[in-house]
Amino acid sequence: MLRTYFLMLLLTLTAGCGRDYYTYDGFDVTGEAGQTRIVDVELEAYVQKFESEWGQRISFRVKVSDIPEGKVGMCTTWTNGDKLAEVDRVYVDLSTPNQVEQVVMHELGHCALGRGHDNGTWTFSGLILPDSVMRSYAFTVSESNYYGSEHSRYMDELFHRNGL
Ligand SMILES: [Zn+2]
């Protein structure tokens, strides 16, 4: 139990190290990415939530991966339009559904909406919470519970914030 907690803490703290979105010239030679909607079953419900808020279907691969360097999610795009969104396998296995959903929303925010990071804060009932799912490091368990209870507010920020 202690070890699990430590691992989760470690992942949370390192989740924001470095960028998690990249664009490369050309197309994905590995064939992993593409321009067709292929979603791993563990992530399907979260992707559908994103699509229903967006009002469009995504057109790329979303998968559970072993992501190095402590990142919990990643979005990679190529100049021909190929895209790949990934969420780390250990994070999916050890995190709460709200935490996993936040990371899926974050990576689709990069890959589908072209959004960058936003580390602003929002004061709610005297608490300082992340302003956006696009924060550069993953939400804690507690923050993700507010993401769940204030879901419509976070979706409004993600899809309707001016200056996208
Ligand atoms: Zn990011």
Which residue's entry shows tokens 């969104």?
85
Strand residue runs (E) in 11-160: 21-24, 38-39, 61-65, 73-78, 83-88, 121-124, 127-130
Q: How far apart are CA 87 and CA 104, in angstroms?
A: 7
| pTM for this predicted structure | 0.89
- Tell me how far the alpha carbon of residue 11 lies from the centroid of ligand 1, in angstroms: 15
Distance 54 CA to ligand 1 centre (A): 18
* Token pair of 50 as six digits: 């994103």
What Cα–Cα distance (Å) separates residue 2 from each residue in 20, 71, 91? 28, 22, 16
How many whole angstroms from 2 Cα to the centroid of ligand 1? Answer: 28
Ligand 1 centre distance from Cα of residue 128 (Å): 20
Q: Yes or no: say if 108 and 84 are a contact pair by the CB < 8 Å rule.
A: no
Residue-level pLDDT at 68: 85
What would the mean pLDDT of 74-99 be, rounded to a whole number? 97
Ligand 1 geometric centre to CA of 73 (Å): 7
Q: Which residues of 64-102 are buried (b: 16+ CB within 10 A; e: fewer)?
A: bbebeebbbbbbbbbeeebbbbbbbeebbeebeebbbbb
Q: Angle 102-67-110 (CA atoms, 0-180°, nearest 5)?
A: 45
* 56-65 per-position pLDDT tens digit: 999 999 999 9
How far does the centroid of ligand 1 lie from the alpha carbon of residue 111, in Å? 10
d(CA 85, CA 32): 10
Amino acid 3: pLDDT: 53
Using the predicted structure, report yes or no on whether residue 6 has a pLDDT greater than 60.
no
| Average pLDDT of span 120-149 | 96
pLDDT at 13: 45
pLDDT averaged over every residue in the chain: 90
CA of 119 to the centre of ligand 1 (A): 11
The Cβ of residue 62 has, within 10 Å, a number of other Cβ atoms equal to 26
Q: What is the mean pLDDT of residues 18-36?
A: 92
C-alpha neighbours within 13 Å on the C-beta side of residue 127: 11
Measure 149 CA to ligand 1 centroid, in angstroms: 22
The alpha carbon of 106 and the centre of ligand 1 are apart by a number of angstroms equal to 6
Q: Give the pLDDT of residue 69.
A: 80
The Å distance, Cα 19 to ligand 1 centre, comes to 6
Tell me the CA–centroid distance for residue 30 and ligand 1, in Å. Answer: 22
Domain architecture of the chain: domains with CATH = 19-163 (3.30.2010.10)
Structure tokens belonging to residue 53: 């808020």
